[in-house]
Amino acid sequence: MRAPQSIHVEWNEIVNSKRDKASEVNPAQLHKKMLQLLSSLWVTRAVGSFARLGLADVMEEGIEDHAAIATARGLAPDRVYRLLRALSTVGIVTEPTRGRFALTPLGRLLSSHAPNNTRTTAIFLNDYFADMWMHLDDALTGERTGFEALKGAPFFSWLGQNPDEARRFNRMMLEVHGPETPAIVAAYDFSSFDHVVDVGGGNGSLLSAVLAAYPNRRATLFDMAEAVAAAKRGEGGPLPGAGFVIGDVFTTPAPGDGDVYLIRHLMHDYDDADCVRILHNVRRAMKPTARVLVLEAPLPSDDSPGPGRWLDLQVMVLCGGRERTVEEYAALFERARLKLARTIPTTHPAMTVVEAVAS
């Protein structure tokens, strides 16, 4: 999703104001940059339509002519041509000869048949996940989230009332976070732990990967009923001998006797007070020698650019959560009678292991 050209610029071009000092004093460059920022919505919407209409699936069948691609989906050939021509500027397709298009490796991520595809994510981010951004002004008042302004209920409560949407959201989470899983297992040594507990572990995909790399460990998945049901159906992979605890991470006592507690992409969904409640719950259950692994992508402590600052706004608008620096995680640990032990980078740019121990 990063290719230069026309209205679109690479991510670092957008987020790094230090990149081109000349643009700070050149009115024409400033104007161009502002139009690039404002028109980035066009790219998102175009990628979403390409995914939703299944055009990547058609092209994977070997169809290259724009008219044939359009006919396969009952669309207007000229308009499909114009869509594909625009998407060729951002690396989704190429146009080797006029009117004939080929998928790029990036574009294949929008096919429903591709492994680790992001088709559900592209669709999701173009429906009510996009609509809630119309309520950013509401979110900035601090009285409610953008999602609440749009749907009339907090996000996770709304998912509980809409199980089909919950399943679709879980699919998106698997698409977004699935590639992080092998990086976590490769970066952290679980060999000294007998009992691994995944707090809010969803369908158990991370726990399954840990057990595959470190067999014969005890494992417990702790999450709400629907997530546990998905894990038991094997949606996250095999969980040989694993135990399951159904409950709320705030109010249900966390499973005891764990040697290491995994908390992946859960903390950023909540404000500080709720995060401390989660950590307190784990702290009460853990052995004195146990570890807590907060698996997130901490914000840089300096002014380095990066997508985390935008994800921070996304979770603010969606559920009132926030992204944090390592120092901010350390402060949360201290409030829960834990202390920061170390941070371990992984090969995935959106994942760092933040390890805490009992204080």
86: exposed, middle or buried (C-beta count within 10 Å: 0-12, 13-18, 19+)? buried
Residues 6+ apart with CB under 8 A from 359: 333, 334, 337, 338, 339
Query: Where does residue 338 rank: exposed (0-12), middle (13-18), buried (19+ CB within 10 A)?
Result: buried
Q: Are 350 and 297 in contact (CB under 8 A)?
A: yes
Under a CB-based contact definition with an 8 Å cutoff, are residues 72 and 39 in contact?
no
DSSP structure class, residue 92 = S
Distances in whole angstroms, Cα of residue 257 to Cα of each of 3, 282, 283, 285, 335? 49, 11, 11, 7, 22
Please tell me what DSSP assigns to residue 253. P
Alpha-helical regions (H) of 244-307:
272-285
* Residue 274, CB-side half-sphere exposure with 13 Å CA sphere: 13
Tokens (6 digits) for 207: 């726990």
User: Is residue 280 among the annotated active site residues?
Assistant: no
Q: Are 40 and 1 in contact, with CB atoms under 8 Å apart? A: no
Q: Which of 265, 268, 280, 348 is catalytic?
A: 268
Nearest CA to 294 out of 256, 265, 251 is that of 265
Query: How far apart, in whole angstroms, are the C-alpha atoms of residue 68 and residue 65?
Result: 5
> How does DSSP assign 127-191, residue by residue?
THHHHGGGGHHHHHTTSS-HHHHHHSS-HHHHHHH-HHHHHHHHHHHHHHHTTHHHHHHHHS--T
Alpha-carbon Rg for the chain in angstroms? 22
Catalytic residue positions, numbered: 268
